[in-house]
Chains A and B, each alone.
Chain A
Amino acid sequence: MNPPRAINPLHVAGIAALACLIALPFVTPAYFLHIVIQILLWGFIYTAWSIMGRFGFVSLGHGAFMGVGAYVPALLWNYEGVTPWLGIPAGVALSVLLAVVIGYPCFRFRVIGHYFALVTLALSEVVLRTITAARDITGGSLGMTQKLAGHSWYALQFPDKRYFYGIALVVWLGGLLVWRWVDRGIEREALEAISEDEEAAASLGIDVMREKLRVTVVSAALTSVGGSLFGQYLAYLNPETVSGIAVSLQIVFAAIAGGMYALLGPTVGAFLTIALNEGLRVWFGTNFIGAANTIYGILLILFIIFMPRGIMGVIENLRMPRRAPAPAPAE
C-alpha cells in the first residue's frame, strides 16, 4: 500500500490562499475588492480561452462569446423580464452555436494557424458590429444599463460587492477545475497529438473533429458565462469593453503572458492586464483606450519571442527540470 501521505506544501499553500480569499471581502476597502473581482472574472475568462489556446487553436474570436454572454441575459432581462438564471444559459447556447458554426468548417477544411486566427477575428468583429448596429435595443456604442432591481438573487444584482466577489470566486475556482479536468484527461494527450499531426492522430482512432469541437465548445461556453457575470456585475454594458477585437486581443495577450500551460497562468495574466489597465488609467487619464491596444500588441510580441510559455512557464522551469529525452538507443 501507499506510504502514509506526506503533507504536500503546495496543498497547504493552496488552502491558506483560499482561506485568505474567503476572508478578503471582510477586511478590504471597496475599491480593492472591485479590482479583485475583476481579476477573478478575467482570470476565469483567460482560463477558458487557454483551454483551447494551449493546443494551438489561437482564437481571436473569444470577444464574440464574451459579448454574446454579456448582452443576451441583459437584453432578455430588460425587455422580457427573463431572469439571468435563464438568460445566462441562453447566452451560452448562442455562444456554443456560434462556436460550432465557425469551428466546424474551420476544422473540416483544416483552417489552422494564422488563418484560424483571422477567421475567428472576423467573428469578434461581426458580433461587435451587430451589437453596435442594433442600437435600438442595445444602445449601440453608447452602451446599455440593466434595469435595476436592488438586491435580488432573481435578477442576479447585488449592490453589495461582496456578493459578486463570492460568485466570482466560485466561478473562477470552477474554471480552474475544468482546466485541470482537461489537463488530466487523456483528451489532453489526444489534443496535443492532434495539434502536432492530425493525420497521424486520426490513424490511431482519434476522432479529430470531435475532440476539437468539444474543447472549443467548452471554451466558448465558459467564456460566455464570464461575459454574463461581467455584465451582471457592472450593470452597464458597452460593446467595446465586452466584445470585439480589443477584448479578444487582451484575452490572448493575458493568457500567453501569464502562461497558458499552467493552471494559474491565465490568472497571473489577469493580474498583469488589470494592473496595466489601472496603471494606464492613472497615468494617462481617460484617453488611454487607444494606447492600451498598442501596448498589448507590443507586449504580446515581446512575450511570444522571449517568454513563449509565459510568466508561469518561467516559474515552473525554475521549480523543476524538463522531462528527460530518450537515452541513446542501446542496439
Chain B
Amino acid sequence: MLSVSGLTKRFGGFLAVNQVSFEVREGEILGLIGPNGSGKSTTFNLIAGALRPTAGSIRFKGGEIGGLSAHRICRNGIARTFQIPRPFRKLSLIENVTLAAYFGNGSSDRVEARRHAEEALALVGLPADPHTMTDGLGAAALKKLELARALATRPTLLLADESLGGLDASEMERAADLLESIRTRMRITIIWVEHIMGVLMRVVDRVIVLDHGEKIFEGLPRDAAHDPRVTEVYLGQRRT
C-alpha cells in the first residue's frame, strides 16, 4: 500500500536518509529499527509530509504523496505519532483527540468527531471526561494520547514513532499488545519505529534496519538477529 523508492533527505551537507526504498504491504506491521540518529524519524517526517524529500518518491495507494502538505497526507489516511509527545496543553485530553477526529478525515460533524475521540481514548485506556487536562500525565499516558490522536483520524496506515520510549518493562509489553490489536481489530497497517529490538521483534511481521540513513537489512525478525551487519550495528562492534 505504501511504496518508498530512492528516498533521500539532506540537511545541508548531511545525508540523514540516503536512497532508502521499501514496500509496505496492506495489513502488516513493519518494524523500522536502527540506532539513534540513523534516520528513522526523518523517514517518518518525509512520509507524513512534515519534511520535503530531497529526492525519491513516496507512493501511497497508487498516488505520489512526496512533498504534499502534512494535513493532506493525514486526510489521505496516514497518521503519525511523535517520538517526543506533542500534546496541546491548553486543551483537554478529549479536545486534543476530538480535533484529530474532526479534521483528520474531513468530517464536519462535531458530535460524531467527539464520539470517535471517546472511542479512541477508550481503546488506549485514557479518561474521556471533559475536564482532564494534559498536565500531570506521565510518559506512558502521553504516548497513549499520541496514539489516540493518530487513531482518531481513522488512518489506514499508522506511523508509530518509538511508542516504547520511556516506558518500563510491563508498560512496553502492554504497548506492544496494543499495537498488535490495532492491526488485527482495526485493520490498520503499521510502520513501527523503535531504536531497540526488544519486544518489537515479537510483534512485527517484517523488519527493516537503518544505519546512517541507509537500509542495511530487510527481512524476517528472526533473520535480523543473525545478520552480521545488524549485529555489528547493534553490538557496537563496528570498526570505523
B103 CB-CB contact with A under 8 Å: yes
Q: Which of A189-238 contact B (CB under 8 A)?
A: 189-190, 192-193, 196-197, 199-208
Contact between A204 and B138, CB atoms less than 8 A apart = no
CB contact between A325 and one of B74, B98, B127, B136 (< 8 Å): that residue: B136
B50 CB-CB contact with A under 8 Å: yes
Residues of B within 8 A of A192 (CB): 88, 90-91
Residues of B within 8 A of A203 (CB): 48, 50, 70-71, 74, 79-80, 82
- Least CB distance from B4 to A in Å reads 19
Residues of B within 8 A of A326 (CB): 93, 127, 132-137, 141
| Interface bin, chain B | 35 or more
CB contact between A327 and one of B48, B102, B132 (< 8 Å): that residue: B132
Residues of A within 8 A of B149 (CB): 204
Residues of A within 8 A of B140 (CB): 329, 331
A282 CB-CB contact with B under 8 Å: no
A208→B50 CA distance, assembly (Å)? 13
B110 CB-CB contact with A under 8 Å: yes
Residues of A within 8 A of B69 (CB): 202, 207
Closest Cβ neighbor of A190 among chain B residues? B99
Q: Which of B116-157 contact A (CB under 8 A)?
A: 127, 131-138, 140-141, 149, 153
Contact between A202 and B70, CB atoms less than 8 A apart = yes
A328→B135 CA distance, assembly (Å)? 9
A323→B132 CA distance, assembly (Å)? 8
Task: Check A205/B138 contact, CB under 8 A, given A186-B98, A200-B88, A324-B133.
Answer: no
Residues of A within 8 A of B71 (CB): 202-208
Contact between B136 and A204, CB atoms less than 8 A apart = no
CB contact between B89 and one of A186, A196, A331 (< 8 Å): that residue: A196
Residues of A within 8 A of B49 (CB): 202
A16→B131 CA distance, assembly (Å)? 32
Contact between B100 and A205, CB atoms less than 8 A apart = yes
Residues of B within 8 A of A190 (CB): 99, 103
B37 CB-CB contact with A under 8 Å: no
CB contact between A193 and one of B48, B74, B88, B127 (< 8 Å): that residue: B88
B95 CB-CB contact with A under 8 Å: yes
| Interface bin, chain A | 20 to 34
Residues of B within 8 A of A328 (CB): 136, 138
Contact between B50 and A204, CB atoms less than 8 A apart = no
A189→B91 CA distance, assembly (Å)? 7
- Least CB distance from B137 to A in Å reads 5
Task: Check A205/B104 contact, CB under 8 A, given A193-B91, A331-B140.
Answer: yes
Q: Which of A231-275 contact B (CB under 8 A)?
A: none
CB contact between B103 and one of A196, A199, A206, A331 (< 8 Å): that residue: A206
B166 CB-CB contact with A under 8 Å: no
Closest Cβ neighbor of A322 among chain B residues? B133
Residues of A within 8 A of B135 (CB): 325-326
Closest Cβ neighbor of A324 among chain B residues? B131
Contact between B74 and A199, CB atoms less than 8 A apart = no
Residues of B within 8 A of A201 (CB): 88, 99
B105 CB-CB contact with A under 8 Å: yes
CB contact between A204 and one of B93, B110, B153 (< 8 Å): that residue: B153
Residues of B within 8 A of A196 (CB): 88-90
A205→B98 CA distance, assembly (Å)? 12
Task: Check A186/B99 contact, CB under 8 A, given A203-B50, A326-B135.
Answer: yes
Contact between B99 and A197, CB atoms less than 8 A apart = no
A192→B95 CA distance, assembly (Å)? 11
CB contact between A323 and one of B88, B131, B137 (< 8 Å): that residue: B131
- Least CB distance from B71 to A in Å reads 5
Task: Check A204/B132 contact, CB under 8 A, given A192-B88, A331-B140.
Answer: no
A260→B34 CA distance, assembly (Å)? 48
Closest Cβ neighbor of A197 among chain B residues? B86
- Least CB distance from B141 to A in Å reads 5
Contact between A205 and B88, CB atoms less than 8 A apart = no
Contact between B138 and A329, CB atoms less than 8 A apart = yes
Q: Which of B11-54 contact A (CB under 8 A)?
A: 48-50
B198 CB-CB contact with A under 8 Å: no
Residues of B within 8 A of A200 (CB): 82, 86, 88
- Least CB distance from A202 to B in Å reads 4
Residues of B within 8 A of A186 (CB): 98-99, 102, 110, 113
0/1 string, A160-191, CB within 8 A of B gives 1: 00000000000000000000000000100110
Selected A-B contacts with CB under 8 Å, 28 pairs: A186-B98, A186-B99, A186-B102, A190-B99, A193-B88, A193-B99, A199-B50, A200-B82, A201-B99, A202-B49, A202-B50, A202-B69, A203-B80, A204-B149, A205-B74, A205-B153, A206-B71, A207-B69, A324-B131, A324-B133, A325-B133, A325-B135, A326-B93, A326-B133, A327-B132, A328-B138, A329-B140, A331-B141
Question: When A and B form their complex, which 6 residue pairs have the shortest distance between CB atoms, in order from nearest?
Answer: A205-B104, A202-B70, A205-B103, A205-B74, A200-B86, A204-B100
14 new A-B contacts at CB < 8 Å, known A203-B82, A326-B135 = A192-B91, A197-B88, A199-B86, A200-B82, A200-B88, A202-B49, A202-B71, A203-B79, A204-B153, A205-B100, A323-B131, A325-B136, A326-B133, A327-B132
